[in-house]
Amino acid sequence: MNRLLRILVIFGAALLVLFGLSLFGFVKLMSPSPHVFLETPSPDGKLSAHLERPGGSMEPIYYSVKVTGAKDCTAATLNGLQAERWVRLSWDGGALVVRYGMPDDPDAKAVAPEPQHGGEGCHGMSVRVIEDNSLSVSGKLNDAIGPTGNGQ
C-alpha cells in the first residue's frame, strides 16, 4: 500500500509540475501546430508572408496572413473553407498584395481578407487586398485540408 501511495504522489507531483510549466508557456499541452500555406518571400528576402490556419478544428475556419522576418506581424485575417485555394500572396516592392476570389460553394462561408490594424497588425507596411475573379473557385470545396498547399 505504501508503494502505491508513493507512486501516486510522484505521478501527481509530475502532473503538477507539467501543468505549472504549461501555464508559463514552457510546455504546450495538446496544442497542434498551425498549418502554413503559400509561403511567399519578399523580393529582397528580408520578409516572408504566408497563409496560416491554426491547428485543431475551428468553425468557421479562421486564417491569418502572417509576415515573418525583420518584423513578425499579422497582415490580414479572413474566414472560409480552404482559403489556400482562393487566396494568393505576392509582393509589389515593399507592399504585400493579398489577392482573392470567392468560392461559389455556400459551405465555404468565405469572407474577403481584411487588413489587420493595431495590436498584431503590420505597422509601417502597406497591405493591399484585391479581388481577382480569376481565383474564384467553382464547385464543391473538399473538407479535407492538409498542410501541404505551397503553390502560388
Reported as a single tens digit per residue, the pLDDT across 37-61 is: 889 998 888 889 999 888 766 566 7
Query: Average pLDDT over the chain, rounded to whole?
Result: 80
Residue 151 has pLDDT above 60, yes or no: no
Q: What is the pTM assigned to this prediction?
A: 0.68
Are 55 and 32 a contacting pair, CB within 8 Å?
yes
Looking at residue 98, what is its pLDDT?
A: 93
Q: How far apart, in whole angstroms, are the C-alpha atoms of residue 6 and residue 2?
A: 6
pLDDT band at 152 (very low <50, low <70, confident <90, very high): very low
* Separation CA 8–CA 3 (nearest Å): 9
- Kindly tell me if the per-residue pLDDT of 12 is higher than 90: no
CB neighbours (10 Å) of residue 96?
Answer: 24
Q: What pLDDT digit, counting tens, does each position of 58-74 carry?
A: 566 788 999 998 778 88
